[in-house]
Structure 1
Amino acid sequence: MGTQEPFHILIIEDSPDDRSDIRRMLLLGSDRHYRFTEAVSGGDALKQIAGFDRPPDCILLDFHLPDMDALEILELLRDGGELTQAPVIVLTGSKESGASVIPAGAQDYQGKSWITPEGLNRAVENARERYTLAKERLDAMHALQASEEFSRTVFQSSPDCVKILDTDGVLLDVNEPGRCLLELDSPEQLIGTVWHENWPVENREQVREAVESAVRGNVARFDGFCPTARGNPRWWDVQVSAVRLPDGPINRLVVVSRDVTASKDAEMELTQSARRKDEFLAMLAHELRNPLAPLLTGMEIISRNPEDSGTVRQIGDMMKRQVNQMSHLIDDLLDVSRITNNKVELQLQPISLHAVLLQALESVRPLVDERKHSLTVDQPRQDVSLVADHHRLTQVVSNLLTNAAKYTPPGGRILVTAGISAAGGLDITVKDSGQGIAAESQSRIFNLFDQGPAGEREGLGIGLTLVRSLVEMHGGTVSVSSEGIGKGSEFRVQLPASVIEAEPTGETPSAAREETASGPLRILIADDGRSTADVLGLFFRMEGMDCRVVYDGGKAVEEALAFRPQLACFDLGMPVLDGFQAGAEVRKHLPGCYLVALSGLGAEGDRKKTAAA
């Protein structure tokens, strides 16, 4: 298989620094393989072009050169014709001088002060496409002049929408592909109408100016929005040019309209994506900063009133809520990352539906009570066993309940219904009397970072995305229905046939093993984060356990051999020996010691590595 030929760029620029910048920007902004040729003057460039086997793929032309300016060079490159020998982009210092090069034959102009690598590469691609379009049009017009029958074939064979106008802008003909693109039942729907009157009112002046420019002998180009005859939205890249009679006068105009709706939609989607990303980052900063202020204030109050047990208890409860809020937020972000990268594996086993609902209700109960909602649960009288991931299914129900509690005004009603479908699957619905969801927002409510246009802008807009992803991983579906703003919402989770008759089985927690020695439980904490290690040590000692704290992996192994702990909590990123190395050493000498990894890392690979250690 042959390799693709390099894209040949001729740079006509007398400044070495500017030539270097142009090469750098082209290489930075694209993966395309370029071949560069350079000229320092207009005369030098024309000689090189004359010696090429074929014209370059694109010419980048400085407006001001030592021997001539861009307008003179463009006239020589046209050589009496309508088109230059290759696509030309003029590099200029001002928009005023740039605008003058388009009628002279350039495909585009770029300002040296505002150009970027991406912008320059995009301009090259657009210039090449416009040049190809103009050349196709010119070839079609030459064919039209040479042979009416042949030109008619060319006219009809163009994949673009091609229209023929008279000099007053009245439509005389449209090709068959154009009829299809415009979704016309017949060309007669357009023929005889004034072209600009078929456009939306806001675009008509632009279209009229393009016709007038073409009548003066110029090639007019513009992008515009105009729906089809059936009302479907379309964006068009339009070029209008004149057709001259053999003796010189202009008697017809040719309009070539290319459907660029797909690229416009992609461009708008990128813009919206960038906007959503910016909103997300701003909201993330807000959500992470919010708990910090009360935490700092609470610590200040405790430091000033350490003997006031009532205040300390009240502040402690508040601090626990704020830390739990931050922890939940970070867990959701990590889950989104893991699911997006296919790093989540479901732990499918027989579980209890009642246990799932109970745990989900307990997690959301503080928020429900705070907002004084009425929460009702309708579930089967007898417990139901089903095959699912207990933690992830609980997360689904909890997120739906949190969403309902958050977006329902205080004093609202929330109804949770769970049951078995006729097909043997599980149905769970969460219905609220909250603010509701507009019809146009329901199709995208599960999209990442999308919180809808109305209501509180609280949270990051990732809870429902997690719900959908986790439900789909179970092979199920989640849907939403709402009669509109102010009329509440209902979310429905449907899992496939997963209900079983067997009783759910539960694992006996490893931490419940009998102690092998009398006296307080011996615990060793090793973490180079001294605050984390000291707080953990303080907690275990308050619980009556014998706890020792060290701050690196080497000391952890030494202390373990001397202290012989029953439980060791090791940070994975410690100095001297990391948590994996320290754990392996302790395991060799104390096989009965229960090891716990402390880490902010949560990828599946990290979990497997700690399990292997």
Structure 2
Amino acid sequence: MRDINRQTNSLFAHPGADSVRGLNYRSLFEAVPVPLLVVSPPHWTVVAANDARLRATGTTRSEQVGRRLFDLFPDDPDDPAADGVQNLTASFRRVLNTKSPDTMAVQRYAMRDAEGRFEERWWSPVNVPVLGADGEVAFILHLVEEVTETVRLRGKAEAMDRLAHDQQRVINRLIAAEAELRRSEEFSSRVLASSIDCIKVLDLDARIEFMTEQGMCVMEVDDFEAIRGTLWPDLWTDDGREKALAAVASVNAGDVARFQGFARTMKAAPRWWDVVVTPINGPDGRPEKILVVSRDLTAAKRAEDALRISEERLRDLNTTLEGRVSARTVELEQAQDALRQSQKLEAVGQLTGGVAHDFNNLLTVIKSSTDLLKRPNLPEERRARYVGAISDTVDRAARLTAQLLAFARRQSLKPEVFDAGASVRAISGMMSTLAGSHIEVDIRLPDAPLFLNVDPSQFDTALVNIALNARDAMDGEGRIDIVVTAVETMPAVRSHDAVNGDFVAVSITDTGTGIPSDRLDRIFEPFFTTKGVGHGTGLGLSQVFGFAKQSGGEITVESKVGEGSTLTLFLPRADDVGRTVGEVEPEGHQDGQGICVLVVEDNAEIGSFATQSLAELGFVPVLASDAAAALAELAKDASRFDVVFTDVMMPGMDGIDLAHCIRRDHFGLPVLLTSGYSNVLAKNGTYGFELLRKPYSVGELSRLLCKTVDLRRRQTVRDGSTS
């Protein structure tokens, strides 16, 4: 024990021990607020322990001093603290070898309480060498901070982050503590001078008694005598003075205080400080002096304020940019709308010009023929020729209108289920004739039927239009291949995604001149043609495009200049629920045979012409100017009518709604619809009603009226025999 006392006395005794007005290094050692042990190698005996260590461990000085450091922890290899002892041994060896401080990782120890039970504690240890006169390690300063509550409350990961910062602060304090334990005041002065903190010693009245050189530099003090005796709280501004007074009061009560605030330097420059205030206890354990450690955080504070201002400016800038982007987006959308409108107007202009050109040609023929028919004494042969010209021209005008409606997907389709291969086989002869003798037409069909549910006449027309374009691309000689196959995907084309499903693909390939890439996107436009004047209207492929789209399909084109082109028509595949093979539709009669027809037509001229024509053909027509008038006629006596012939487009109730009313209230009375164009029919079909497209001939009207009546009569007979 005498040896321990001798080592302790030699540790704290040195010539300059009373240099701070009676303050000795033992007092400073006891005043350090961090638990501190001084260990003597090679037996690692504890030669000194400060009050903070005794308070932290709940032990007396006799229970700490004179014992081996490792005896203060359990030495049972199965104990949870065994790894901590091993880590401590390894750290001491590193200190001896390097003569440098060693910071250990956060350690978990199981300390025994008063009743001998283990209690789990967490510590952050640092081991610092104290060199003797010979330059060798005379003592090791073992400093720890207990972080048990931090680890428990915040979890291990968060505690590690905080401890990294705390350990740095501990090292800074440890440098000052090491200087206080050194035998040389000169050495302690150098250590204190190396601290980046402003370290001051106050009396219990908070008057400045001592300040390190670094502190004087930071506080901009040229002569310490100018600040000696100054009341430390008076240096603070704003609420900092109240915080400083409160800290002094806490230290006088034996506690440790910490706060942040603004304090002026001796040259009146305000700076932001982080301050730790601790008591320096005397031999009786009561506060004797006050230790103040201040760190200048002005730069960090300014950086924080600058960052905050930058963030605010960035938010304002983002808000401004968002507003500008929004405005530019609106401008861009308006420009795009204007461009689309311009493109639409251009397309409408092109379409209008094409329609006007072709219809003016047709009207010229009709007008000229009617003028010639008005001439007196016109021979019958010429009269018949002019009447035929008018009839043929009307048919051409009807086809032109149908092609335009097909492109616009506004035609009234009459879908039926049929075998695509059989339909292609049926028109193959006509295709060969149209192609000419020097063009070979090869057709490859699947072994099994592939059924479609589309308008069969429009399907045939589409294939013929594609074949005609293929023929014209080969200059009278070449080859056309037509292939019908089943596919499971309709490819992506014209900004539309690919569609998976069951489809029938009909490909027509020619060996013609091909289509330049800059024209591929225009070949389906109405009236666009590369043929010479008088060699096509430019409506053939537009009909194919409209028919495919309206039927739920697609048309694609692949072409290489000089090698030919392939156009593929994709249509949805259907189940085999079509008409029974061998079933024959009844033929219509040529005359009315007294059939009573309710004619519903809002156009007076067409209504008058239709009733007069029907009367001449042997029908008994009754004219109603609209749907309301027709319902009134039916309300009088519906049994007198054999069929209702109604226009679709009418003001008020249209022909579709009228037909539904008749089907509901007068079941068994057939309805024949007629229309030149109807958006409802284009979207939804005919709802099961027969349809006669305008313009129609009197013969077509007569045949379809008789057919409609015959079908209803046959259905009535079948229903009667079944019942």
Question: If the length of structure 2 is used for normalisation, what is the TM-score?
Answer: 0.37
Question: If the length of structure 1 is used for normalisation, what is the TM-score?
Answer: 0.43
